[in-house]
Amino acid sequence: MTDLRILLAPTTRLIGAVLLTASALAPAYAADPAPKAATPATPAEEPSTLILSDTLHYDDVKKQSVFTGNVNLTRGLMTLSSDTLQMTEDAQGNQYGTATANKGKVVTIRQERPDTFELIEGKGLRAEYDGTKSTFDLIGQAVVVRYVCGKPFDTIRGERVRYNEKTGTYEAQGGPNSAAAGGRVRSVAEPRAKADAAVAECRKQQAAKKGR
């Protein structure tokens, strides 16, 4: 099994990959007649990416990496599982990725959001990432589920489901290989109040555990 730990450029973010940001503000003192200028925001360090696979082929000329065999990618709070993962980089440093699964299996992506007790889980026969658009597509029997406190709340089914990292929006298309009946798009969303109540309950349980 190949164990490869690499630090990727900002444009290599996959579905739900989380960028940590930080800013430092210079203190202002009343006794100081000339207020100090605020310290420029310091860009946070990119989270490292760990990829486990049975084999790895890297082509420096083509700027292409191909991971095969039980591929598991972990980047921050995001994980991806597939049978093959191919990543390429263009001259501008933009990253593109394609993950595929063997027959009878699916590509799985999970993104945790601890602050809201959420887990976004997506599955499909193939997954594609476009660094220029910050979009991630699940293609073929695509299903995306949002869990709150371990319970499913929102579900989208289609042939293709796209998630935009910058806007946090979803798009879905139907087709002959849709995960929904009749080749349609099927979405189920629980009321916002119900999700908020679940989050509140989780916070209460978490606070109770810390108070022990």
Distance CA 55, CA 67 (A): 6
Q: What is the pLDDT of residues 113-157, one digit of tens each?
A: 888 888 989 999 999 988 888 888 999 999 999 999 888 999 999
Model pTM above 0.75:
no
Confidence class for position 44, pLDDT limits 50, 70, 90: low
Determine phi and psi for 184, rounding to 5 degrees: -95, 175
> Residue 13: pLDDT above 60?
no
What is the pLDDT, as a whole number, of residue 47? 67
CB atoms within 10 A of CB 130: 15
| Band (9; pLDDT cuts 50, 70, 90) | very low
- Percentage, residues of the chain above pLDDT 90: 41
